[in-house]
Structures are given as C-alpha cells and as structure tokens.
C-alpha cells in the first residue's frame, strides 16, 4: 500500500465509488460478501487498492496545504515543478497560534519584531504525490490557498 487505508467513515462516504471500483474488478455484491467472509485478506487488498486510487486522485489535485503549530505556520503552494513554502514563526512562548487568541494576536502584529517570515522552494523527490501525502500525514490540511496568497502578496509588497 502506497498511502494509507481510508477510514471506515471515508469508505462509507465513497460507497458508490467503491461499488463502481469493485464492478471494474468484476466483483458484484454477492461476490464481495463471499470474498469478505472466505478470503478476508483479498477483500482487504481490494480496499487498499481502492484507497490508494482515491488518494492518488486527491493528491494530484492538491495545490495548497497549511500546517499550524503552536509557534509556526507553514503554507505550501504545490506547483507541477516545486513545493513553495511560506513559513511564519512567532518567537514568543506566550503566543499560541493554535488558539483563536494567538491567531488574532498574529493578525494584529504581523510586522512585530518577534514575527519572522521565511520563503523557500524545493524540488519534489521522485514521487510528487508521496511528498504531498507525507506533509498531510504530518498534519498539513488541504486548503484553497487563501492564506498562502495573502502572505505571498504581503511579502511581495514588503520587498518593494
């Protein structure tokens, strides 16, 4: 398995897609029930293949990821060629960016000396989607990129 198995809830949400997937494997409902009962390892393998297929589809479309921690925000823009990062670090242990108060503090104090911004770009390893998946596994969330765009414009205006 390349990624991770979908959760029971995710599989339930993708119930129709899973049925269609099984149909492409020439497995109907009766055969699926029989397979689960008599050859559970084969049924598990089918779920794993389906999970990887879903992850591959999702990861191919991902353009932006965000990862928040107590004192840092990592904003990723994932192009075809590279991963671009904007990192924001707050050097005050009293500010916790995981709280509403801490995030509000950051919004009101972006240009404070204890707030640092970093920009970086990096080539993907041999498997772009696996790189994206590893960021998600580490806690990054898929987003539409509003925060990345905001900070990219802010940093660009600071250069001028």
Q: Considering Cα of 76, then 150, then 144, then 7, what sign does the dihedral take? A: positive
Residues near 52 by beta carbon (within 8 Å), at least 6 away in sequence: 1, 2, 3
Confidence (pLDDT) at 160: 59
**24: its two tokens:** 């492409």
DSSP state at residue 35: H
Confidence (pLDDT) at 156: 81
Confidence (pLDDT) at 157: 80
Confidence (pLDDT) at 159: 67
Query: By the 8 A CB rule, do 3 and 52 touch?
Result: yes
Confidence (pLDDT) at 64: 98
Q: List residues bridging with 64 in a β-sheet.
A: 77, 143
Confidence (pLDDT) at 14: 95
- Return d(Cα 90, Cα 105) in angstroms, integer: 10
**Residue keyed to tokens 């965000």:** 66
DSSP letters spanning 101-157: HHHHHHHH-TTSTTEEEEEEEEE--S-HHHHHHHHHHTT-EEE-SHHHHHHHHHHHH
pTM comes to 0.87
Query: How would you write the pLDDT of the chain (160 residues) with one tens digit per residue?
Result: 999 999 999 999 999 999 999 999 899 999 999 999 999 999 999 999 999 999 999 999 999 999 999 999 999 999 999 999 999 999 999 999 999 999 999 999 988 999 999 999 999 999 999 999 999 999 999 999 999 999 999 888 876 5
Confidence (pLDDT) at 140: 97
Confidence (pLDDT) at 141: 97
């Amino acid at each position: 398995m390349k990624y991770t198995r979908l959760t029971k809830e995710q599989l339930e949400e993708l119930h129709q897609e899973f049925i269609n997937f099984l149909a492409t494997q020439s497995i109907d409902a009766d055969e699926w029930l029989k397979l689960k009962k008599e050859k559970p390892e084969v049924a598990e393998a089918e779920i794993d293949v389906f999970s990887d297929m879903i992850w591959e589809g999702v990861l191919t479309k991902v353009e932006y990821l965000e990862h928040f921690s107590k004192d840092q925000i990592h904003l990723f823009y994932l192009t075809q060629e590279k991963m671009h990062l904007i990192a924001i670090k707050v050097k005050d242990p009293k500010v916790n960016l995981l709280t509403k108060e801490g995030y509000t503090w950051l919004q009101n104090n972006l240009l404070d000396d204890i707030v640092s911004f970093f920009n970086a770009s990096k080539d993907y390893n041999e498997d772009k989607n696996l790189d994206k998946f590893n960021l998600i596994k580490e806690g990054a969330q898929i987003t539409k990129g509003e925060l990345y765009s905001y900070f990219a414009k802010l940093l660009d205006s600071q250069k001028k």
